[in-house]
Structure 1
Amino acid sequence: MADEDQAGTLAGNGSRVRCTECGSEAIVTSAGGSALSCCGKPVEITFPGSK
């Protein structure tokens, strides 16, 4: 997860996200309002969950 001052993607529960740099994928199981990032860049939402 990203620090508060770092850009990132906000995703809801059940969202599938992917890093465009390294290809890592994850599913959000407990959204907490934090921005998600990997390799220093925001992740891409590949399947939107609920907000």
Structure 2
Amino acid sequence: MFSRSFRPTTVAGAAQAGDAALAARYRNPGMVLGAAVAAVLHPGSAWWWLR
């Protein structure tokens, strides 16, 4: 279904989403923003490369 290169970037995006959740818990706005951007960027770039 998905290419093998899509899976690691999806996992990386999930890890970044977890980082954003932890940063929100500790009220660290810079880390929330950076991790949220990376959480979208990893799967988004994988999708872009696979199309």
Class of the TM-score when normalised by the shorter of the 2 chains: under 0.3
Q: Which has the higher helix share?
A: 2
TM value normalised by structure 1: 0.23
Larger C-alpha radius of gyration, 1 or 2?
2
Q: Give the strand-richer structure, 1 or 2.
A: 1
Q: Normalising by structure 2, what TM-score? A: 0.23
